[in-house]
């Protein structure tokens, strides 16, 4: 049994490409070409070189001694927080802009919620000298001023989405509309393992450098390539997909996915997609998403902007349904306390998204001999104001 995508673009019953007819040529062009482009040695050479010299890879695999002592198990941190721009997202945007160039595209569009993916996209557009339009809900533009400023400094145009709730899903609709109108010259950089096939697989492949590095780094440190567990937070699921990728079909490696329970799973204010989600279609893919009885997408909530998403990528829906992945949901309160604890124990201030992953150690015991790798998806600088308000710092 394989947990990777099948030749039809499905993970078990999830995935596929449920898109308007007018988008078909755009996604089809990518589907027909992406495997060949990614496997091309000249693509790999350029991708690897940029990951090394521009992003700062390989990121360290750090043995967190004090955290390990506290929870009586062996914890390693995969330091994606040390990537250029402060999180894993740039691994994907570098890969996609190189793909766009090889497809002859001249212009990049993206959607962003909190602005992190917008910044990662604007960054690589500056690097490649390509024009960049980022769609962002008007409400999010007001909430995320520093990231809007970053995108502007990097030369991107930030276009407000004014319809609906004026948040991420409305920005996505605007980006799709733009893509339909500009099918020949424009590439749409999606920021997580979501969207129509082949995006989830393509993004997972770009992020898979994370688990590739974990294997060789563990070999150096522990004399074995497989950890007992890999833990990651899940918004759309890209940092998790990258951290699991090379372990998916090795069932002796436990896969733990951590979702945001917000104010509590039953509070009506959460983003715990696996616990609450039902099968439906979002952003062109069949997956689990939070919806009302009549199929309207529910507005998600989490203190962490990066986990505030009503769905989850089709790979993760399959990991949940098949039982391959263990899914844990963590409240705002538990995540914030875990973020503070890691800061004090390890001298590392994690992004609030990642703090959710750290909170599992209070809920779930591991054996002393277990090797547990936590993917430290991003740094907490962007979240300082939220930490300040929460803890009255």
Ligand X SMILES: *Cc1c(COP(=O)(O)O)cnc(C)c1O
Could you tell me the smallest distance in angstroms from the CB atom of residue 351 to ligand X?
Answer: 4
Indicate if 111 belongs to the active site.
Answer: yes
Could you tell me the smallest distance in angstroms from the CB atom of residue 98 to ligand X?
Answer: 19
74 or 90: whose CB is closer to ligand X? 90
78, 89, 169, 286: which one is catalytic? 89
133 or 193: whose CB is closer to ligand X? 193
164 and 135 Cβ atoms separated by less than 8 Å = no
Could you tell me the smallest distance in angstroms from the CB atom of residue 254 to ligand X?
Answer: 19
Residues 6+ apart with CB under 8 A from 77: 61, 62, 64, 346, 348, 373, 374, 376
123 or 239: whose CB is closer to ligand X? 239
Indicate if 89 belongs to the active site.
Answer: yes
Could you tell me the smallest distance in angstroms from the CB atom of residue 127 to ligand X?
Answer: 19
Sheet bearing 278-282, strands edge to edge: 10-11, 14-15, 285-289, 278-282
327 and 275 Cβ atoms separated by less than 8 Å = yes
360 and 334 Cβ atoms separated by less than 8 Å = no
274 or 377: whose CB is closer to ligand X? 377
In the bound state, the residue with its beta carbon closest to ligand X is: 378
Question: 24: which 2 tokens?
Answer: 């078909």
Residues that bind ligand X (CB under 6 A): 87, 89, 116, 192, 233-240, 306-307, 351, 353-354, 377-378
**DSSP line for 181-238:** H-TTTEEE---SS-SSTTHHHHHHHHHTHHHHHHHHHHHHHHS-S--SEEEEE-SSSH
178 and 189 Cβ atoms separated by less than 8 Å = no
Which of 326, 80, 122, 310 lies closest to 206, judged by CA?
A: 80
Could you tell me the smallest distance in angstroms from the CB atom of residue 378 to ligand X?
Answer: 2
Q: Radius of gyration over alpha carbons of the chain, in Å?
A: 19
Could you tell me the smallest distance in angstroms from the CB atom of residue 194 to ligand X?
Answer: 8
Q: DSSP E strands: which ranges in 266-370?
A: 278-282, 285-289, 325-331
74 or 85: whose CB is closer to ligand X? 85
68, 208, 304, 377: which one is catalytic? 377
341 or 383: whose CB is closer to ligand X? 383
111, 174, 346, 353: which one is catalytic? 111
Q: Which residue bears the tokens 């400023």?
A: 149
Which of 108, 103, 91, 95 lies closest to 30, judged by CA?
A: 103
Catalytic residues: 89, 111, 377
């Amino acid at each position: 049994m394989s947990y990777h995508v099948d030749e039809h673009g499905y993970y078990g019953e999830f995935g596929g490409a449920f898109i308007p007819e007018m988008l078909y040529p755009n996604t089809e062009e990518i589907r027909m070409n992406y495997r060949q482009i990614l496997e091309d040695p000249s693509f790999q050479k350029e991708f690897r070189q940029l990951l090394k010299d521009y992003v700062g890879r390989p990121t360290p695999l750090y043995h967190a001694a004090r955290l390990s002592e506290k929870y009586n198990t062996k914890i390693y941190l995969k330091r994606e927080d040390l990537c250029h721009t402060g999180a894993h997202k740039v691994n994907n945007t570098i890969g996609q802009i190189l793909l766009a160039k090889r497809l002859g595209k001249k212009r990049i569009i993206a959607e962003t919620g909190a602005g992190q993916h917008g910044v990662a996209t604007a960054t690589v557009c500056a690097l490649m000298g390509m024009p960049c339009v980022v769609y962002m809900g008007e409400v999010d533009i007001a909430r995320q001023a520093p990231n809007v400023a970053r995108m502007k400094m990097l030369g991107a145009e930030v276009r407000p989405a004014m319809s609906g709730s004026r948040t991420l899903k409305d920005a996505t609709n605007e980006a799709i509309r733009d893509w339909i109108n500009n099918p020949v010259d424009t590439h749409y950089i999606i920021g997580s393992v979501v969207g129509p096939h082949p995006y989830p697989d393509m993004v997972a492949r770009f992020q898979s450098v994370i688990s590739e590095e974990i294997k060789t780094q563990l070999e150096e440190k522990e004399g074995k390539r497989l950890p007992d567990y890999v833990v990651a937070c899940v918004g759309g699921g890209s940092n998790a997909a990258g951290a699991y990728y090379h372990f998916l079909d090795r069932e002796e490696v436990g896969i733990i996915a951590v979702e945001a329970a917000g104010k509590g799973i039953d509070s009506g204010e959460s983003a715990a997609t696996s616990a609450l989600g039902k099968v439906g279609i979002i952003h062109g893919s069949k997956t689990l998403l939070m919806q009302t009885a009549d199929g309207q997408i529910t507005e998600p909530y989490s203190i962490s902007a990066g986990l505030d998403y009503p769905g989850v990528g089709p790979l993760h829906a399959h990991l949940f349904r098949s039982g391959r992945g263990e899914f844990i949901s963590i409240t705002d309160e538990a995540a914030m306390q875990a973020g503070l604890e890691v800061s004090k124990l390890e001298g590392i201030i994690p992004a609030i998204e990642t703090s959710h992953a750290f909170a599992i150690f209070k809920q779930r015991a591991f054996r002393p001999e277990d090797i547990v790798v936590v993917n430290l998806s991003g740094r907490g600088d962007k979240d300082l104001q939220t930490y300040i308000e929460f803890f009255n710092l």
